[in-house]
Amino acid sequence: MSFENKQKRAFWFYPETLTGVETHYKHDNCRSKSEFIEKAIKFYLGYLDEEKSVNYISPMITETVKAEIKGTEQRISRLLFKVAVELGKLAHITAAVNGVDEEDIRELHAMCINEVRKINGIINSEDAAAYQQS
């Protein structure tokens, strides 16, 4: 920007504002107080424009995140369904091969519920094998 394009204007400032300008304009590598004030005004205008952008972008980000979460939930649900089917097949095969009766299944069910509560859902195959061998 050249000096010829500049326009002189009269603005009113509080004395403490001018003291702040006087104190800080050299620290901001400005050659003059006018340059400092112009830079400050441009910064504030950018801030106001950015605020408008945030109001536009924020809902877009929210909707994108919601869509991503919903897609992830659907994928996890499908995978859990497949795991449940495979687990059901294994349970039936195990019961058929070992000739387990209903009373044993009820006792095993109660024991597993208590164990999962106790270990907070963190299943460890080594601990289960050790339990079965004892």
Each residue of 88-117: pLDDT tens digit? 898 888 888 888 888 888 888 898 888 888
Separation CA 84–CA 90 (nearest Å): 10
What rounded mean pLDDT belongs to the chain?
85
Question: Nearest-CA neighbor of 27 among 36, 17, 37?
Answer: 36
Mean pLDDT for 11-35 is: 92
pLDDT bin (cut points 50, 70, 90) of residue 1 is low
Same domain, 87 and 106: no
Same domain, 78 and 37: yes
Same domain, 39 and 69: yes
pTM of the model: 0.43
**Domain assignment present for 2:** no
Same domain, 52 and 117: no
Same domain, 81 and 106: no
**Which residues constitute the domain of residue 122?**
101-134
Same domain, 119 and 75: no
Same domain, 62 and 121: no
